[in-house]
């Protein structure tokens, strides 16, 4: 086609347009859920790095439950989430053992 010429647009079925809308909505929700989990993990890692065991213990339970919700919603794969939970728990436990 010559430059500046109009492109041919293929007509789309109603079902295709609906699927596009659904995908956009799901993408927004999934991104929000994943961002929430990553932010909580970041806060927990910051508390562990600062050596604040009381805050880390408190954040650990809320972070683990947020990770479990992400698994239920299909945002995170189960093995990935379990790996995150394991590493965060080990980090919290070793921090508590180092203090004692």
> Which CATH number goes with the domain that contains 54?
1.20.58.110
Domain count, the chain: 1
Residue 51 within a domain: yes
Residue 87: band (very low, low, confident or very high) from pLDDT cuts 50, 70, 90: very high
pLDDT, one tens digit per residue, over 13-61 is 999 999 999 999 999 999 999 999 999 999 999 999 999 999 999 999 9
Residue 70 within a domain: yes
Structural domain span for residue 73: 15-99
Instruction: Quote the pTM value.
Output: 0.78
Residue 68 within a domain: yes
**Per-residue confidence (pLDDT) for residue 8, from 0 to 100:** 82
Residue 20 within a domain: yes
Q: Which pairs from 74-81 meet CB under 8 Å and 24+ separation?
A: 74/30, 75/30, 75/33, 75/34, 75/37, 76/34, 76/37
Please tell me the distance from the alpha carbon of residue 17 to that of residue 79, in angstroms, as a whole number. 34
Residue 80 within a domain: yes
The answer to whether the Cα torsion of 14, 16, 22, 25 is positive or negative is negative
**Per-residue confidence (pLDDT) for residue 57, from 0 to 100:** 92
């Amino acid at each position: 086609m010559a430059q500046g010429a109009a492109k041919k647009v293929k007509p789309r079925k109603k079902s295709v347009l609906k699927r596009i809308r659904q995908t956009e909505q799901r993408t927004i929700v999934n991104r929000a859920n994943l961002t929430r989990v990553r932010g909580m993990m970041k806060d927990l890692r910051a508390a562990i790095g600062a050596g604040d065991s009381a805050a880390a213990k408190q954040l650990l339970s809320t972070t683990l439950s947020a990770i479990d919700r992400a698994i239920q919603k299909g945002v995170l794969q189960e093995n990935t989430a379990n790996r995150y939970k394991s590493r965060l728990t080990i980090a919290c436990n070793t921090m508590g053992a180092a203090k004692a």
